[in-house]
Amino acid sequence: MKLLRHGPDGQEKPGMLDASGTIRDLSGVIPDLAGDALSAAGLAKLAALDPASLPAVPGSPRLGPPVAGMKNLICIGLNYADHAAETGAPVPKEPIVFLKSLGALSGPNDDVIIPKNSVKSDWEVELCIIIGTKAKCVTEDQALDHVAGYALGNDVSEREWQIERGGAWDKGKGCDTFGPVGPWLVTKDEVPDPQNLTMFCEVDGKRYQNGSTRTMIFGVKTIVSYVSHMITLHPGDVIFTGTPPGVGLGVKPSPVFLKAGQVMHLGIQGLGEQTQKTVAYAAG
């Protein structure tokens, strides 16, 4: 099942994608894709619906982030050994956990704003875990019981602020629009092996990233369990799980970074694709 949220920013309505690719409106069934709607029982209720009985959404509406009501937007750093190598960093012994501001969250095809004075903004295609039920101190064997599904994400990053300005990574990760997620949440029954998904990212038609979740250092079960011992996970929380090699920072002989007027196009097998235009910061 592919679940989504459609409509203007801040006014999104819940929906699902039917087998023909038509968006069906769920706002008469649930208030939003949040809370109990993401639990096993809530998802089973939605799966039992006949999509043809739901109103079709006309045209090509904007898609927002596929879940609402999250308390945490969590990221795992350097979670692909080959990506760690390209950045010159050692392979971590435990997951590196950091946070994105909730203000970074945006729709899958929304513009990405290059921050004021940024010179090293970068791309990162990532598998996102969507939490369905509260998870606190869960074991790896229990971890997937708390997962609603998966989504595509772009962990946009300002490398100078992340690496060269001291302190935690968060300052280079949490800028407005730096967390596109979607186009939809794909329920876990449709993703039997999240550790075997191909993924890519292109900028202006040039493919920079071409990887697979097979090379993740810490898999989905480990990540959910590990994070739950430090941060209580809630329905709708999103965990970005790291990126394969091919980021702009790792381009040899000279790194390549984003500037206004470019187009990022990225995707993960079975989870859909995103397209974002980069735009310059404007006050206001």
- Indicate if 93 and 47 belong to the same structural domain: no
Condensed to tens digits (0 to 9), the pLDDT of residues 73-99 reads 999 999 998 787 777 778 899 999 999
Question: Do the Cβ atoms of 179 and 104 come closer than 8 Å?
Answer: yes
Report the domain count for the chain: 2
The stretches in the chain having pLDDT less than 70 are none
232 CB burial (10 A radius; 0-12, 13-18, 19+) = middle
- Indicate if 241 and 125 belong to the same structural domain: yes
| Residue 65 belongs to some domain of the structure | no
Q: Which residues contact 171 (CB under 8 A, 6 or more apart)?
A: 158, 161, 162, 165
Helix, coil or strand: residue 269: coil
Question: Do the Cβ atoms of 150 and 185 come closer than 8 Å?
Answer: yes
Range of the domain at 42: 2-53
- Indicate if 17 and 138 belong to the same structural domain: no
Condensed to tens digits (0 to 9), the pLDDT of residues 134-180 reads 999 999 999 999 999 999 999 999 999 999 998 788 899 999 999 99
| Residue 114 belongs to some domain of the structure | yes
Which of 147, 70, 134, 128 is CA-nearest to residue 102?
Answer: 70
- Indicate if 102 and 135 belong to the same structural domain: yes
- Indicate if 266 and 161 belong to the same structural domain: yes
Domain of 239: which CATH number? 3.90.850.10
Q: What is the pTM of this model?
A: 0.97
- Indicate if 18 and 153 belong to the same structural domain: no
- Indicate if 28 and 147 belong to the same structural domain: no
- Indicate if 255 and 170 belong to the same structural domain: yes
